[in-house]
Amino acid sequence: MKTLLTLAAISIVAACTLAFQKPVGDVKAPKGKLVVVGGGGTTPEIIERALELAGGKSARMLIVAQASSNPDAGDESKVFWMEKGATNVHVLDLADEALALREVEQAAFIWMPGGDQSRLYDELAKTKVAAAIKKRYLEGAVVGGTSAGAAVQSQVMLIGGEKADLKSVRSGGSETAPGLGVWPEVIVDQHFVKRQRFTRLLACVLDHPELVGVGIDEKTAVVVTGSQIEVLGESTVLVVDARSARKAATKDAELHSATDLKLHVLRRGDKLDLAQRPK
């Protein structure tokens, strides 16, 4: 009996771990990796790691620059990456959807520069490209982005930084919209320490306690492998976990109340397995 109970417990833990690693609605854990940057500059270390994960400087890279209203944003990002050593860089053009889908299917590294995450999502969601990017991640591509290109990786996407309540932790105090859902188990916030966005992320996590908040500061990145994150760069990453918290019922616009939240403050070289739920 004791052996059977032990085996059952192991099975439950394994199932919970796999459930965290799987994007919602997919049957397999992703084979790809994410490189999610908090904006404010992409350091040489982050660039080198991203290219290495994608297969080297000759890996086929696709710039997805629709977060910007600047028509030259894609070409400017292409020049940036080529100056850093990438030799096979392409820019996504949504004018020809069939061609755009082929570009995504062939990419080993998909990169999303900054701008407006709502604009980026809206442009991609008009086509089948959004689903194609998620599919490539599941198949093994590296997907990354900075600033808006980081926020859009979430399923529940933070928007409207200037409208957020930064002085109190209230229900509904953080504005959200649908994101790409490449990393659906978390809520990504960017420019995090620099722009003092802790209250914004905390309120959003308490609105969605099943999701883990990941606040990434400028010139800093997380590399995501399955359920594990590793920090690169110059500043810190804060992880807010309310999955095992005791949260009081709260009406819209009321102050949140919760106990037993878990907070992690991570710096370069630190790793954390998000599948490990707090006890």
Put residue 191 in one of left, alpha, beta given phi > 0 → left and psi -120 to 50 → alpha.
Answer: left
Which residues lie below 8 Å from residue 227, measured CB to CB, with a gap of 6+?
17, 20, 21, 185, 273, 274, 275
208 is catalytic: no
* Helices marked H in the chain: 2-21, 44-54, 73-83, 97-106, 117-125, 129-139, 148-151, 198-207
Distance CA 20, CA 29 (A): 9
Which amino acid, residue 148? A
218 is catalytic: yes
**Are 109 and 142 spatial neighbours (Cβ–Cβ below 8 Å)?**
yes
175 is catalytic: no
Taking 3-state DSSP, the helix, strand and coil percentages for the chain, each rounded to the nearest 5, stand at 30, 25, 45
Q: Which among 103, 191, 227, 256 is annotated as catalytic? A: 191
- Count CB neighbours of 188 within 10 A: 27
CA geometry: angle 159, 165, 169, nearest 5 deg: 110
Q: Which among 118, 218, 230, 256 is annotated as catalytic? A: 218
Q: Return phi, psi of residue 71, to 5°.
A: -65, -15
Closest C-alpha to 190, from 201, 182, 181, 199 = 201
H helix count then E strand count, the chain: 8, 16
The set of catalytic residues is 147, 191, 218
